[in-house]
Amino acid sequence: MAKSVNSRKPTYAFLGPVGTFTELALAQVKNAKNANHLPVSTVSEAIDAVINGSAFRAIVPVENSIEGGVSATLDALANTTDIRIYGEYLVPITFNLVARPGTKLADVKVISTHPTAFAQCRGWLQENIPSHSHLPATSTAAAALDLLTDSPLADAAIAAKSITDHYKLTVLAKNIGDNKNAQTRFIEIGLNAKPTKASGKDKTSVIVELPEDRPGALLEMLEQFAARGVNLSRIESRPIGDQLGRYRFNIDAQGHINDDAMAEALMGLHRFSPKVTFLGSYPRADKKNSKHEGNNSNKEFSSAESWLNKLRAGR
Amino acid sequence: MAKSVNSRKPTYAFLGPVGTFTELALAQVKNAKNANHLPVSTVSEAIDAVINGSAFRAIVPVENSIEGGVSATLDALANTTDIRIYGEYLVPITFNLVARPGTKLADVKVISTHPTAFAQCRGWLQENIPSHSHLPATSTAAAALDLLTDSPLADAAIAAKSITDHYKLTVLAKNIGDNKNAQTRFIEIGLNAKPTKASGKDKTSVIVELPEDRPGALLEMLEQFAARGVNLSRIESRPIGDQLGRYRFNIDAQGHINDDAMAEALMGLHRFSPKVTFLGSYPRADKKNSKHEGNNSNKEFSSAESWLNKLRAGR
Amino acid sequence: MAKSVNSRKPTYAFLGPVGTFTELALAQVKNAKNANHLPVSTVSEAIDAVINGSAFRAIVPVENSIEGGVSATLDALANTTDIRIYGEYLVPITFNLVARPGTKLADVKVISTHPTAFAQCRGWLQENIPSHSHLPATSTAAAALDLLTDSPLADAAIAAKSITDHYKLTVLAKNIGDNKNAQTRFIEIGLNAKPTKASGKDKTSVIVELPEDRPGALLEMLEQFAARGVNLSRIESRPIGDQLGRYRFNIDAQGHINDDAMAEALMGLHRFSPKVTFLGSYPRADKKNSKHEGNNSNKEFSSAESWLNKLRAGR
Amino acid sequence: MAKSVNSRKPTYAFLGPVGTFTELALAQVKNAKNANHLPVSTVSEAIDAVINGSAFRAIVPVENSIEGGVSATLDALANTTDIRIYGEYLVPITFNLVARPGTKLADVKVISTHPTAFAQCRGWLQENIPSHSHLPATSTAAAALDLLTDSPLADAAIAAKSITDHYKLTVLAKNIGDNKNAQTRFIEIGLNAKPTKASGKDKTSVIVELPEDRPGALLEMLEQFAARGVNLSRIESRPIGDQLGRYRFNIDAQGHINDDAMAEALMGLHRFSPKVTFLGSYPRADKKNSKHEGNNSNKEFSSAESWLNKLRAGR
Distance CA B106, CA B108 (A): 6
Distance CA C137, CA B224 (A): 53
Cα four-point dihedral sign D159, D160, D164, D165: negative
Cα four-point dihedral sign B235, B239, B245, B247: negative
Average pLDDT estimate for C34-46: 90
Which pLDDT value is given to residue C243? 63
CATH number of B202-302: 3.30.70.260
Q: Which residues of D touch C232 (CB under 8 A)?
A: 218
Distance CA D4, CA D146 (A): 22
Q: Which residues of A touch C270 (CB under 8 A)?
A: 303-304, 307-308
Going by pLDDT thresholds of 50, 70 and 90, the confidence category of residue B129 is very high
A68, A179, A237 member nearest B236 (Cβ): A237
Contact B234, B253 (CB under 8 A): no
Which pLDDT value is given to residue D72? 73
Q: Does residue A115 have a pLDDT over 80?
A: no
DSSP state letters, B264-307: HHHHHHHHH-S-EEEEEEEE-TT----PPSSS-SHHHHHHHHHH
Q: Tell how far CA A101 is from the center of its chain.
A: 34
To the nearest whole Å, the CA of D312 is away from the closest chain C CA by 33
Which pLDDT value is given to residue D217? 86
Contact yes or no for B308 and D227 at CB 8 A? no
Tell the burial category of C181 from Cβ atoms under 10 Å away from its Cβ (0-12, 13-18, 19+). Answer: exposed
Contact yes or no for B270 and D308 at CB 8 A? yes
Q: Which residues of A touch C312 (CB under 8 A)?
A: 194-195, 257-258, 263
B192, B227, B312 member nearest D258 (Cβ): B312
Q: Does residue C223 have a pLDDT over 70?
A: yes
D149 part of contact set with chain C, CB < 8 Å: no
Q: Which residues of B touch D315 (CB under 8 A)?
A: 192
C293 part of contact set with chain D, CB < 8 Å: yes
Q: Which residues of B touch A52 (CB under 8 A)?
A: none
Distance CA D260, CA B160 (A): 54
Taking phi over 0 as left and psi of -120 to 50 as alpha, with beta for the rest, C246 belongs to beta
Which pLDDT value is given to residue A3? 47
D182, D226, D237 member nearest C216 (Cβ): D226
Contact yes or no for D311 and B227 at CB 8 A? no
pLDDT tens by residue, D223-268: 999 999 999 888 887 777 666 667 789 999 999 999 999 999 999 9
Closest-CA residue of chain B to D197: B312
Query: Could you give the C-alpha distances from D196 to A212, C141, D257, in angstroms and in order?
Result: 49, 47, 10
Tell the burial category of B62 from Cβ atoms under 10 Å away from its Cβ (0-12, 13-18, 19+). Answer: buried
Q: Which residues of A touch C84 (CB under 8 A)?
A: 314
Contact D291, D203 (CB under 8 A): no
Which pLDDT value is given to residue D2? 43
Q: Which CATH architecture has domain B95-173?
A: 3-Layer(aba) Sandwich (3.40)
DSSP state letters, D140-187: HHHHHHHTTSSS-S-SEEEEETTHHHHS--EEEES---S-TT-EEEEE
Q: Does residue B2 have a pLDDT over 50?
A: no
D302 part of contact set with chain B, CB < 8 Å: no
Q: Give the residue with greater pLDDT, B77 vs A156.
A: A156
Query: Is D202-302 in the same CATH topology as D95-173?
Result: no
In chain C, residues 104-133 whose CB comes closer than 8 Å to chain D = 114-115, 119, 122
Closest-CA residue of chain D to B273: D295
H or E element, residue B92: strand B83-92
pLDDT tens by residue, B284-300: 999 999 999 889 999 99
Query: Could you give the C-alpha distances from C181 to B183, C175, D240, D242, in angstroms and in order?
Result: 60, 11, 11, 7
Q: Which residues of A touch B90 (CB under 8 A)?
A: 244
Tell the burial category of C212 from Cβ atoms under 10 Å away from its Cβ (0-12, 13-18, 19+). Answer: exposed
C-alpha torsion angle, residues B22, B27, B28, B29 (rounded to 10): 90
> Edge-to-edge strand order for the sheet containing D11-15?
D36-40, D11-15, D57-63, D183-191, D83-92
Which pLDDT value is given to residue A75? 79
- The two most distant CA atoms of chain C are separated, in Å, by 87
Q: Where are the beta strands (DSSP E) in A240-287?
A: 247-254, 276-283
> Which residues make Cβ contacts (< 8 Å) with residue B217, sequence separation at least 6?
B210, B211
Q: SS3 sequence, C146-178?
A: HCCCCCCCCCEEEEECCHHHHCCCEEEECCCCC
CA distance between the termini of chain A: 69
Q: How many helices (H) and strands (E) does chain A have?
A: 10, 14
Q: Does residue B65 have a pLDDT over 80?
A: no
To the nearest whole Å, the CA of B16 is away from the closest chain D CA by 29
Query: CB atoms < 10 A from the CB of D298, how many?
Result: 14
Q: Does residue D160 have a pLDDT over 70?
A: yes
Q: Which residues of A touch B239 (CB under 8 A)?
A: 63-64
Which pLDDT value is given to residue B67? 62
Q: Give the residue with greater pLDDT, B135 vs C4.
A: B135
Tally of residues, chain B:
315
Mutate to test the interface with B, among D209, D221, D225, D312 (most CBs of B within 10 A): D312
Going by pLDDT thresholds of 50, 70 and 90, the confidence category of residue B68 is low
Closest-CA residue of chain B to A178: B241
The answer to whether the peptide bond before residue A17 is cis (omega within 30 degrees of 0) is yes
Q: Which of A254-258, B122-126, D20-24 has the highest mean pLDDT?
A: A254-258
C194, C227, C314 member nearest A313 (Cβ): C194
Q: Among B163-172, B214-223, C296-305, D139-148, which stretch is predicted with the lowest mean pLDDT?
A: B214-223
Q: Among A65-69, A147-151, A201-205, which stretch is predicted with the lowest mean pLDDT?
A: A65-69
Distance CA D22, CA D13 (A): 10
Closest-CA residue of chain B to D300: B271
- Given a contact as 3+ CB pairs under 8 Å, which chains touch D? B, C
Which pLDDT value is given to residue C79? 85
Distance CA B221, CA A138 (A): 39
Average pLDDT estimate for D116-123: 84
Closest-CA residue of chain D to C91: D244
Query: Could you give the C-alpha distances from B185 to B22, B27, B71, B92, B232, in angstroms and in order?
Result: 9, 14, 13, 9, 16
Mutate to test the interface with C, among A293, A307, A311 (most CBs of C within 10 A): A311
Average pLDDT estimate for C119-124: 86
Q: Which residues of A touch C301 (CB under 8 A)?
A: 267, 271
Q: Where are the beta strands (DSSP E) in chain C?
A: 11-15, 36-40, 57-63, 83-92, 95-99, 110-113, 133-136, 156-160, 170-173, 183-191, 202-209, 232-239, 247-254, 276-283
Closest-CA residue of chain D to C134: D138
At how many degrees (to 10) do helices B217-226 and B260-272 cross?
160
Which pLDDT value is given to residue D245? 66
H or E element, residue D310: helix D298-313
Which pLDDT value is given to residue C1? 40
A/B interface, count of CB pairs below 8 Å: 88
To the nearest whole Å, the CA of A197 is away from the closest chain B CA by 24
Closest-CA residue of chain C to A84: C314
Going by pLDDT thresholds of 50, 70 and 90, the confidence category of residue D75 is confident
Contact B58, B15 (CB under 8 A): no
Query: Could you give the C-alpha distances from A178 to A123, A160, A175, A184, in angstroms and in order?
Result: 6, 14, 9, 15
> Which residues make Cβ contacts (< 8 Å) with residue B300, sequence separation at least 6?
D271
Closest-CA residue of chain A to B123: A44
B233, B237, B244 member nearest A245 (Cβ): B233
Mutate to test the interface with A, among B79, B237, B243, B246 (most CBs of A within 10 A): B237
Q: Does residue C302 have a pLDDT over 50?
A: yes
To the nearest whole Å, the CA of A172 is away from the closest chain B CA by 24
pLDDT tens by residue, A278-299: 999 999 998 999 999 889 999 9
Which pLDDT value is given to residue B244? 61
User: Whose CA is closest to C173, among C269, C78, C97?
Assistant: C97
Mutate to test the interface with C, among A257, A271, A300, A302 (most CBs of C within 10 A): A271
Contact D282, B163 (CB under 8 A): no
Distance CA C80, CA C191 (A): 11
Query: CB atoms < 10 A from the CB of A289, how many?
Result: 12
Contact yes or no for D264 and B264 at CB 8 A? yes
pLDDT tens by residue, B241-273: 666 667 789 999 999 999 999 999 999 999 999
Tell the burial category of B90 from Cβ atoms under 10 Å away from its Cβ (0-12, 13-18, 19+). Answer: middle
Contact yes or no for D271 and B224 at CB 8 A? no
In chain B, residues 178-217 whose CB comes closer than 8 Å to chain A = 179, 181-183, 215-216
Q: Give the residue with greater pLDDT, C184 vs D4.
A: C184
Q: Tell how far CA B224 is from the center of its chain.
A: 25
Contact B236, B74 (CB under 8 A): yes
Which pLDDT value is given to residue B76? 83
Q: Give the residue with greater pLDDT, C260 vs C234.
A: C260
Query: CB atoms < 10 A from the CB of D93, how many?
Result: 22
Contact yes or no for D305 and B267 at CB 8 A? yes
Query: CB atoms < 10 A from the CB of B77, how many?
Result: 24
Query: Could you give the C-alpha distances from D292 to B271, D45, D284, D289, in angstroms and in order?
Result: 12, 37, 15, 9
Q: Does residue D115 have a pLDDT over 90?
A: no
Which pLDDT value is given to residue B72? 73
Backbone phi, psi, residue D264, to 5°: -65, -40
Answer whether 0.95 is exceeded by the pTM: no
pLDDT tens by residue, D182-196: 888 999 999 999 999
Q: Among B166-170, C128-132, D72-76, which stretch is predicted with the lowest mean pLDDT?
A: D72-76
Domain ranges of chain C: 11-93+182-191, 95-173, 202-302
The residue type of C247 is Y
To the nearest whole Å, the CA of A255 is away from the closest chain C CA by 14
C307 part of contact set with chain A, CB < 8 Å: yes
Contact D34, D67 (CB under 8 A): no
CATH number for B11-93+182-191: choose from 3.40.190.10, 3.40.50.1970, 3.40.30.10, 1.10.150.300.
3.40.190.10
Query: Could you give the C-alpha distances from A296 to A263, C266, C272, in angstroms and in order?
Result: 11, 14, 8
Q: Give the residue with greater pLDDT, A178 vs B12.
A: B12
In chain A, residues 237-276 whose CB comes closer than 8 Å to chain C = 257-258, 263-264, 266-268, 270-272
B79 part of contact set with chain A, CB < 8 Å: no
What mean pLDDT value characterizes chain C?
90
- The two most distant CA atoms of chain A are separated, in Å, by 87
Mutate to test the interface with D, among C218, C233, C243 (most CBs of D within 10 A): C218
* Helix, strand, coil % in chain C, rounded to nearest 5: 30, 30, 40
Q: Tell how far CA C293 is from the center of its chain.
A: 26
Nearest 5°: the CA angle D121, D126, D127 is 105
Q: Give the residue with greater pLDDT, D163 vs B235.
A: D163
